[in-house]
Amino acid sequence: MPKDYYKTLGVEKGASKEELKKAFHKLAHKHHPDKQGGDEAKFKEINEAYQILSDDNKRAQYDRFGEAGTNGGFGGGQPGGGQGGGFGGFDFSGFQNANGGQGFEFDLGDIFGEMFGGGGGRGQVRRGRDISVDIQISFKEAVFGVERNILINKISECDTCHGSGAEAGSQMKKCATCGGKGKVNETRRSIFGTFQSSHECPDCHGKGEVPDKKCKTCRGEGVYNKQTNIKVAVPAGMDAGEMIRLTGQGEAVAGGQAGDLYVKVHIEKDNIWKRVGNDLTTEIKIKLTDALLGSDYNLETLDGPLTLKVPAGLTYGEILRVKAKGVPARSASARGFGETKRGDLLIRVTFPTPAKLSKTARKAIEDLQSEGL
| Per-10-residue mean pLDDT, the chain, length 373 | 84 87 86 76 87 86 72 40 37 38 37 38 71 95 95 93 88 89 78 70 83 90 92 93 93 90 95 95 94 94 96 94 91 45 95 85 80 70
DSSP helix/strand/coil, 198: strand
Residue type (1 letter), 100: G
The pLDDT of residue 285:
96
pLDDT of 254: 84
- The reported pTM is 0.58
Yes or no: say if 72 and 78 are a contact pair by the CB < 8 Å rule: no
Domain positions in the chain: 274-370
Coil, strand or helix at 30: helix
pLDDT score for 346: 97
| Nearest residue to 347 via CA among 325, 364, 329 | 325
> Using an 8 Å Cβ cutoff, are 124 and 104 in contact?
no
Amino acid making up residue 43: F
Confidence at residue 246, expressed as pLDDT on a 0 to 100 scale? 95
274-370, CATH topology level? HSP40/DNAj peptide-binding domain (2.60.260)
The helix/strand/coil state of 336 is coil
CB 326 within 8 A of CB 279: yes
- Collapse the DSSP code of 23 into the 3-class scheme (helix H, G, I; strand E, B; otherwise coil) and give the result: helix
